[in-house]
Structure 1
Amino acid sequence: MSLLQHPAFLRFWLARFVGTGAQQMLMLAIGWQMYGLTGSAWDLGLVGLAQFAPSLAAALPAGHAADRFHRARLVLACYAVQGGVALLLLAATTGGWASRGVLLGLSVLLGGLRPFQMAAQQALLPALVPLEMLARAMALGSAGVQAAVIGGPALAGLLFTGGVGVVYGSCFALFAAGCVVLTTVRYEHAPPPREPPTIASLLAGVKFIGNSRVLLGAVSLDLFAVLLGGATALLPIFAAEILHVGATGLGLLRSAPAVGALLMAAALARWPLTRRVGHRLLVAVAVFGACMVVFGLSTSFALSLVALAVSGAADMVSVIVRQTLVQLETPDAMRGRVAAVNTLFIGASNQLGEFESGATAALLGPVGSVVAGGVGTLLVAAAWLRLFPALARRDRFSPQDLG
């Protein structure tokens, strides 16, 4: 059976592709406008912090909402609000009242909204395809996301020639298109009993992951791998002082992991993983760490690009295996809350990973920071082999469904 025979999945894929591209454009435009208004790198950092802090606070309520409400409509509502933010920024820009405070305030709103969208999107996918096709659907969905991550900023860069207002207007149009497509996504939704949220229900996702050695191992493995092995924050230093490739080279370095991830996601959509998935997860994380070591030691621009592209491909294997395991191990009634915890881990690892890179670079230098992080990732993969043997021995994604 082909994924083309599941129109609800294809519509959801299209809406997610359009919405992700719009989000990438919107955040790029906000950062560009902030820097144009203040010329402050500190304010650029505040934009990121303004998005990260509310996402932490909203993560658990977002998971509860994804398990209580119609998930496609919840994603639609998130797109609609983001479209409204883009329209408001367009009005502020054309009206001359865009300011540092306006940009930071709307960044807080976007940050608080993101966990609701992420939890609903992740929890919705298993309802749109048969479980035996979930790994392939996950790979195809990831390919679409990576394509949007690459194409969104590129499109915004072209539209900036007409002014930042043109980018905001385009974002609004894309979010509106995503909302229209989402109205056509149908799936069987059985509403849970209308009970008020409690502390126990909000923390149910945390408890569920904590009680599963497979899920705890997979989620924590990604947390520590990204926390230690990420090098994104240091790429400007490598481009300027080590590889000597300037701003153009920096753009290529930033896009290389996404290109590798896109190619791997497309390959896994065509040839999905079916056996030795736990072992492949650990190997992928080890390959990611090794790539970071190579990148840190490299003085060749070409070798650095290859190392980053392979790291993106390895990370995509990790992402697809982890997310497929999370979806198949979790009952549908709890998928939203478990997805929210997973999203919280991902966000924390990315943001704290950038801080860790900067802190260790201050002590060890950029090369020392990246190499040490890569070695640390290799050690984590080796340690998880012993600490979580159930994960390492996992053969199929879900024996009861794929057996």
Structure 2
Amino acid sequence: MTRVRGTPSPSAPARDDVTSLLRHASLTRFLIARVGSITAQQMLMLAISWHMYDLTSSAWDLGLVGLFQFIPGLATTLLAGHCADRMHRGRMVAICLAAQAVTAALLVVSTATHSVTREVLLGLSLVLGAIRPFQMAGQQALLPMLVPPSLLARSMALSTVVQQISVIAGPALGGVLFAISVVTVYLTSAALFCMSAVMYAFVRYDYIPSPREPVTAESILAGLRFIWRNPLLLGGISLDLFAVLFGGATALLPVYAKEILHVGPQGLGLLRSAPAAGALCVGLILSRRAIGSGVGKKLLIAVAVYGISIAGFGLSRWFPASLLLLAISGGADTISVIVRQTLVQLETPDRMRGRVAAVNTLFIGASNQLGEFESGVTASALGVVGSVVLGGCATILVSLMWSRLFKPLATRDALR
């Protein structure tokens, strides 16, 4: 792997504190840019989901927002991985964020002129779904280039902390800005996207252009084949797919906020932020202290805890208890994310990181966006509460099944 200018060699001992991570200027710049971009994305999706439900009062349409983001990702994700292995990854992410800023600006104009409709929101969701795989593939492949391997696991944890701070701040800020107008939310998102694009453009690492290679089916599918032949990676990535596919309740939070818990858009912001609050607490611990031994077993337990907390949230009628259960789900999910993402990076050579990250992005997108659609469909058939509780129970079952199906994952002892 190409070493970053000014960073210690992989064999150099690392001080066991967060300050040692932040001494890497490129990593610090990367983290600041993540704060802005994720905050903007959270605000934008909060606004679109509430805007859609306010227009249509339909759980089905909330599910469609997720589906319309997932569909174009199927067409662009593998190409995004090819690009991430051929382009400067920081600039690639910057271009994606600039495109999202334009999308937010279009929402400002259409809302201010009272021309926004269900079709407009779905159409722009398609655009966001096409852009995001390029951003995610570039981001995931970029981080390992900014620190030596000895600091990678704790850098992942710190990046997760930054992400969760933003996931907390985004919906909470969006809920406050709703008191002014939805146009203000869209406008603030556009500004944050622009700021983050500039920051990513200035992330520095030793970039060596790859030899030009034609875009062929073989080169695009190389990441998928690499994962398929590695049971450890296949088990970890598919675990996330099915766990979040069944256990995702995000798409139905507007229904809980408006009709079950009766807390309005401000309460919706808190519900969206609660998982991130739990994730932040766990991420802070793991950025200072390694997970230790038995990481495979801990990963599967964390997924089961995630399912239990989601099922409990589905049954809750008390707002504080709902917030607590969502926070527990976020903390459990953070353990899962850090273990899986670190394993993916450590098991993948740099020349393949973009394409493997793209496949990982496809699975993440499927679990999030397709999971939102699944929630909308099952809510239409079983009711909102039935959909969430059934999804949580299914996630627990997935954890038990994966402990049997993927022994290399279940028996993995350490991140190394």
TM-score, normalization by structure 2: 0.85
Higher helix proportion (structure 1 or 2) = 1
Taking a change above 3 Å as real, the CA distance of residues 176 and 253 of structure 1, as seen in their structure-2 partners, is: closer
Q: Quick check: 2:164–2:279 contact (8 Å CA) kept in 1?
A: yes
- Structure 1 CA distance, aligned partners of 2:310 and 2:72? 30
1:66 aligns with 2:84: yes
1:24 aligns with 2:45: no
Match of 1:118 among 136, 151, 159: 136
**Equivalent position amino acid for 1:4 in 2:** L
Residue 235 (structure 2) aligns with? 217
1:248-259 aligned at under 5 Å gives the runs 251-259=269-277
Residue 401 (structure 1) aligns with? none
1:86 aligns with 2:107: no
TM-score, normalization by structure 1: 0.88
Of stretches 43-52 and 137-146 in structure 1, the one that deviates more from structure 2 is 43-52
Residue 376 (structure 1) aligns with? 394
Match of 2:195 among 165, 177, 187: 177
- Structure 2 CA distance, aligned partners of 1:338 and 1:309? 30
Taking a change above 3 Å as real, the CA distance of residues 84 and 395 of structure 1, as seen in their structure-2 partners, is: same
- Structure 2 CA distance, aligned partners of 1:111 and 1:254? 20
- Structure 1 CA distance, aligned partners of 2:382 and 2:50? 31
1:137 aligns with 2:155: yes
Of stretches 113-122 and 103-112 in structure 1, the one that deviates more from structure 2 is 103-112
- Structure 2 CA distance, aligned partners of 1:370 and 1:22? 27
- Structure 1 CA distance, aligned partners of 2:258 and 2:95? 42
User: Structure 1 vs Structure 2: percent identity of aligned residues?
Assistant: 59
Q: Quick check: 1:135–1:273 contact (8 Å CA) kept in 2?
A: no
- Structure 1 CA distance, aligned partners of 2:401 and 2:210? 40
**Equivalent position amino acid for 2:278 in 1:** G
Match of 2:250 among 232, 239, 244: 232
- 1:124-170 CA distances to partner (integer Å, 9 max, x unpaired)? 00000111111111111111112212212322333344434433332
- Structure 2 CA distance, aligned partners of 1:27 and 1:298? 24
Residue 8 (structure 2) aligns with? none
Q: Cα distance, 1:366 vs. partner?
A: 4.9
Residue 56 (structure 1) aligns with? 74
Taking a change above 3 Å as real, the CA distance of residues 378 and 200 of structure 1, as seen in their structure-2 partners, is: same
Of stretches 55-64 and 150-159 in structure 1, the one that deviates more from structure 2 is 150-159
Taking a change above 3 Å as real, the CA distance of residues 342 and 188 of structure 1, as seen in their structure-2 partners, is: same
- Structure 2 CA distance, aligned partners of 1:159 and 1:298? 28
SS of the counterpart of 1:117? Answer: helix
Q: Quick check: 1:56–1:344 contact (8 Å CA) kept in 2?
A: yes
Residue 325 (structure 1) aligns with? 343
Taking a change above 3 Å as real, the CA distance of residues 295 and 67 of structure 1, as seen in their structure-2 partners, is: same
Structure 1: runs of 5 or more not aligned: 399-403
Residue 4 (structure 1) aligns with? 22
Taking a change above 3 Å as real, the CA distance of residues 182 and 351 of structure 1, as seen in their structure-2 partners, is: closer
Of stretches 156-165 and 338-347 in structure 1, the one that deviates more from structure 2 is 156-165
Q: Quick check: 2:172–2:269 contact (8 Å CA) kept in 1?
A: no
**Equivalent position amino acid for 1:9 in 2:** L
- Structure 2 CA distance, aligned partners of 1:232 and 1:13? 25
Taking a change above 3 Å as real, the CA distance of residues 73 and 374 of structure 1, as seen in their structure-2 partners, is: same
Structure 2: runs of 5 or more not aligned: 1-14
SS of the counterpart of 1:68? Answer: coil
**Equivalent position amino acid for 2:163 in 1:** V
**Equivalent position amino acid for 1:226 in 2:** V
Residue 105 (structure 1) aligns with? 123
Taking a change above 3 Å as real, the CA distance of residues 95 and 331 of structure 1, as seen in their structure-2 partners, is: same
1:159 aligns with 2:172: no
